[in-house]
Structure formats: structure tokens, C-alpha cells
């Protein structure tokens, strides 16, 4: 499965339960209340487990977690550079 689809599915199934039935890859995750601030931590934990990649503290910034698109773009870049 593509990174974007995996992240979108996790958010929809685990974090946005009862908040949204569908999410667009460009939806503002925090701004539109799709996930809350604790959801960011759950997202970081999920990424670290699923992709076996430790998200450095300095990368936990709003720009990287703004939307599914932003997050998958960030993650694809990091996973590619990590080989």
C-alpha cells in the first residue's frame, strides 16, 4: 500500500472515528478538527511502528503534520534518503 493510503486509512479508522467519514489528502487535519493534538502523538507512534522510522523531534512541526499529503510527502522523502 502507498504511504499516503496507509496514513489516510489509519487517521480515518483510528483518529477521526465519529468525526469524519471521509478525508481528503489536503484537508487541514488539526484546523478542521479531524484529529486533536493527542492524535499527533498517536500518528508519530504509528509512523515509527509501521515504517520503522524514528521521527526526530525537530521534524515534529505543524508543516509536516498539516495534512495527509504533507505527512506522506515528508515521510517519502525521509524513507528514500534513509535508503
Site membership for other proteins, residue 24 (CB under 8 A): no
Site membership for other proteins, residue 60 (CB under 8 A): yes
Query: How many of the other CB atoms lie within 10 Å of CB of 18?
Result: 5
Site membership for other proteins, residue 45 (CB under 8 A): yes
Q: Are 68 and 62 in contact (CB under 8 A)?
A: no
* Least distance CB 73 / other proteins (angstroms): 18
Site membership for other proteins, residue 19 (CB under 8 A): yes
Q: In angstroms, rounded to a whole number, what is the distance separating the alpha carbons of residues 67 and 74?
A: 11
Please say which residue, 26 or 60, places its beta carbon nearer to other proteins: 60
Site membership for other proteins, residue 22 (CB under 8 A): no
Site membership for other proteins, residue 26 (CB under 8 A): no
List contacts with other proteins (CB under 8 A).
Answer: 17-19, 30-33, 36-42, 44-45, 48-49, 55, 57, 60-62
Amino acid at each position: 500500500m502507498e504511504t499516503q493510503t496507509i496514513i489516510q486509512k489509519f487517521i480515518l479508522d483510528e483518529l477521526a472515528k465519529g468525526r469524519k467519514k471521509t478525508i481528503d489528502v489536503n484537508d487541514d487535519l488539526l484546523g478542521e478538527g479531524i484529529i486533536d493534538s493527542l492524535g499527533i502523538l498517536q500518528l508519530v507512534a504509528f509512523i515509527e511502528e509501521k515504517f520503522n522510522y524514528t521521527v526526530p523531534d525537530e521534524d515534529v512541526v505543524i508543516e509536516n503534520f498539516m495534512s495527509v499529503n504533507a505527512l506522506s510527502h515528508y515521510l517519502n522523502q525521509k524513507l528514500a534518503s534513509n535508503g
